[in-house]
A and B are shown apart, each in its own frame.
Chain A
Amino acid sequence: MIPRFAHARPGSFDEAFAAFDAAGGDAAWYAGGTELLQVMKMGLARFGTLIDLKGIAGLAGIAGDDAGGLVIGGTATHREIERSPVVHAVAPALAALAAQVANPRVRNQGTLGGNLCFAEPHSDPATFLLAAGARLDLRGRSGRREVAIDEFLVGPFATTRAADEILAAVLVPAAAPGEGRAYEKIVFRERPAVSVAVRVRVADGAIVEARVVVGSMTDVPAVVAGAGAALAGSSADGGIAEDSLTAAAEALARLPAEDDLDGSADYKRHLAGVLFRRAVRAAVSEALARA
């Protein structure tokens, strides 16, 4: 059962920080609560006060920005993202991913902001957003700072967010001309066993840039630089060169991994390779369509 805690529901950022201070810092923000409440139930975390962010209007909603990218409010749920026309237009792979997170109830209740702040190593959105180069808008008492997601996720259940900072929005860049983004995962139990996100940019029928991220295998989603580099320069029209794919797969095969209930390290590396091929094909397809 959930241990006892005090509760606050601020209506603004200022009220939120005041509530945090009133709790003497022994407080946690929550929105959906799907992960936070679960770990509290399991006795793995405890807070004197829980502060509900759902009453702060500025945290809700999904909009496009002036550069054709997305501004996803910290309390937007996976369901809202799945159904958002602007997400479908700007990052269809993100909408598709949101539709596959956990189960319908978690999607109704859980938020993207909460998911990123909880920093579960098996997070679907974190893996994709790392490939997409998302940035995060963090609010503290002294104002706003923006941080790349690469610098936000630093360890299992660990981010560079200060405890009293609120994740106000997730900023997803627009797909540039010729850019495609894809996400593939394989699930054996509840959480993904392995996932791969790929962003490619294609010009003149060749891949000019690629970013490959593997999720669920390491403490944080991992950018596999060698795989991205191996793809760069490969032709994209009429299928990707096999030797590029093989070189990329070799980079994936060197990923650190641990044996766990989902499989041995070897097997998971193999799956990463399988998912990588599927994700690359999908990303290149989208890229060519946008070229």
Chain B
Amino acid sequence: MPETVELGFAVNGRPATVRVEPRETIADVLRERLGLTGLKVSCDAQVCGACTVLVDGLAVSGCTYLAIDADGRTVATVEGLATDDRLSPLQQAFIDEAAFQCGFCTPGMLMAATALLAENPTPTRDEVVAAIDGNLCRCTGYVPIVEAILRAAKAAR
């Protein structure tokens, strides 16, 4: 029987307990055990950012972050951005600026942007670009994504 460990962590503000093998990544656990399929796995090499998830507010590559390392921590995914069925200003800005097409990079982009705005609520355009430079998008050409993040920052002021 493979060794398993019981983990407890907060996901989007709610406590979650799950028994996992050490080898399972946070991406595996979120997607397959907790049904939170918003986080996507694409390159599986920490390059594309589709799997971006926040652990204690810091963006990490879910595909290469062990679930056991999230024990006792807070995890934030795209499913937690809306509150009481109301989209966050950032999500609304993505819709208003059409900052997505196929949508596969979108959860990762939103989490990268969320981490940025939490730390720097008034980013310059260059700071926005730097914050998402590690998140690939193959559809949009990035311009509407940058605009959406700037728009959300402005809306929050």
Q: A7-B22, A37-B64, A38-B46 are in contact. Are A108 and B59 (CB under 8 A)?
A: yes
A2 contacts the other chain (CB 8 A) = yes
B98 contacts the other chain (CB 8 A) = no
| A190 & B47 in contact (Cβ 8 Å cutoff) | yes
| B23 & A103 in contact (Cβ 8 Å cutoff) | no
- Residues of chain A within 8 A (CB-CB) of B59 are 104-105, 108
* Interface size in chain B (residues, C-beta < 8 A): 27
Q: A4-B2, A7-B5 are in contact. Are A105 and B52 (CB under 8 A)?
A: yes
A188 contacts the other chain (CB 8 A) = no
B131 contacts the other chain (CB 8 A) = yes
A190–B45 CA distance with the chains assembled, in angstroms: 10
A-B contact pairs, 19 of them (CB 8 A): A2-B25, A34-B46, A34-B61, A38-B45, A41-B44, A52-B69, A79-B58, A102-B46, A103-B46, A104-B112, A104-B131, A104-B133, A105-B52, A105-B59, A105-B60, A105-B134, A106-B46, A108-B58, A109-B65
A271 contacts the other chain (CB 8 A) = no
What bracket does the count of chain A residues touching chain B fall in?
A: 20 to 34
A102–B21 CA distance with the chains assembled, in angstroms: 29
Taking Cβ atoms with an 8 Å cutoff, the residues of B that contact A are: 2-3, 5, 21-23, 25, 44-47, 49, 52, 58-61, 64-66, 68-69, 112, 115, 131, 133-134
Contact of A105 among B2, B22, B23, B46 (CB under 8 A): B46
| B44 & A106 in contact (Cβ 8 Å cutoff) | no
Bitwise, A37-80 to B at CB < 8 A (1) or not (0) is 11001000000001010100000000000000000000000010
Q: A34-B64, A37-B64, A38-B64 are in contact. Are A6 and B45 (CB under 8 A)?
A: no
- Residues of chain B within 8 A (CB-CB) of A52 are 68-69
A38–B61 CA distance with the chains assembled, in angstroms: 11
A3–B22 CA distance with the chains assembled, in angstroms: 10
| A54 & B46 in contact (Cβ 8 Å cutoff) | no
